[in-house]
Chains A and B, each alone.
Chain A
């Protein structure tokens, strides 16, 4: 499971370098997410621009990631491809996660908010 975390001041970018976030990698995703984010602080922006398929297990893993961060940290999503956006919308999860077009938009949203 290829995932990279990059701390960026008060928050971090976590990129998923896999084309499918599905049942076969859902548990690995959760474990890697925990490992990569536990020593950092602040919100996490999850870059899903390389993920072109998300099933219900992958969705469950993203929800689990939100819970791993705890109450004080937020999980935001960036770069949703059409199939991923479709699953997020159908399940109403787009009402839970702040969603940005891409990483630049996610960064800009933080600058604007200051």
Chain B
């Protein structure tokens, strides 16, 4: 069984609903990784899925549901596979994103000479944008809907293993 075997047909791989909390997000991500591995997804795609989903879910936990712990705060995650990769949809009923353009791909400035000024945040959105394609956010019937794609082979995002 492989996510490529569908030959253009979309196959549903993941349909999860979990609490908007750090611990529940972690558990959901581990379930996703096991499911993608069983579906034959290559390691690089699984790695990009983990990074993108972690950042997307953390954003929901922190910004859509800032009044944690909220027992009604839930995230719904759907993943389907097709010939080109994975289509991911995340839904929540929390606060909407502020109006305006989405945060970009530019990482916070890092100056190795001044460790005291190193940023401890601001990496989430650039990581999410770098991992994904065709990302969109919409609000429908009180629901935030975040959609993005992960390509099977994404050459625009190479890992330079020699860099570390």
Q: Say if A and B assemble together.
A: yes
Binding site for B on A (CB under 8 A): 20, 22-25, 53, 55-57, 59-61, 63-64, 66-67, 71, 80, 82-83, 85-96, 99
Given contacts A53-B29, A60-B123, A89-B159, 8 further A-B contacts (CB under 8 A): A22-B22, A22-B54, A55-B55, A66-B118, A83-B50, A85-B161, A90-B126, A91-B107
Whether B118 contacts A67 by the Cβ 8 Å rule is yes
Q: List 30 A-B contacts (CB under 8 A).
A: A22-B26, A53-B50, A53-B54, A55-B51, A55-B54, A55-B55, A55-B124, A56-B55, A56-B58, A56-B123, A56-B124, A59-B123, A61-B120, A67-B118, A82-B43, A83-B47, A85-B161, A86-B47, A87-B51, A89-B160, A90-B107, A91-B123, A91-B127, A92-B107, A93-B110, A94-B164, A95-B112, A96-B115, A96-B118, A99-B164
B1 within 8 A of A: no
Shortest C-beta distance, A68 to chain B (Å), equals: 11
Majority secondary structure of chain B interface residues (helix, strand, loop or mixed): helix
CA of A66 to CA of B111, assembled, Å: 13
Whether B110 contacts A95 by the Cβ 8 Å rule is yes
B101 within 8 A of A: no
Question: Which A residues lie within 8 Å of B163 (CB)?
Answer: 89, 94
Given contacts A67-B115, A85-B164, contact A24 B159 (CB under 8 A): no
Question: Which B residues lie within 8 Å of A91 (CB)?
Answer: 107-108, 110, 123, 126-127
Binding site for A on B (CB under 8 A): 21-23, 25-26, 29, 43, 47, 50-51, 54-55, 58, 61, 107-108, 110, 112, 115-116, 118-121, 123-124, 126-127, 130, 159-161, 163-164
Whether B127 contacts A90 by the Cβ 8 Å rule is yes
CA of A22 to CA of B61, assembled, Å: 13
CA of A39 to CA of B29, assembled, Å: 36
Q: With contacts defined as CB atoms under 8 Å apart, how many contacts are there between chain A and chain B in the complex?
A: 94
CA of A63 to CA of B161, assembled, Å: 21
CA of A55 to CA of B51, assembled, Å: 6
CA of A63 to CA of B110, assembled, Å: 11
A99 to chain B: closest residue by CB: B164
The residue in A61, A64, A92 that gathers the most chain B C-beta atoms within 10 A of its C-beta is A92
Shortest C-beta distance, B47 to chain A (Å), equals: 5
Whether B164 contacts A23 by the Cβ 8 Å rule is no
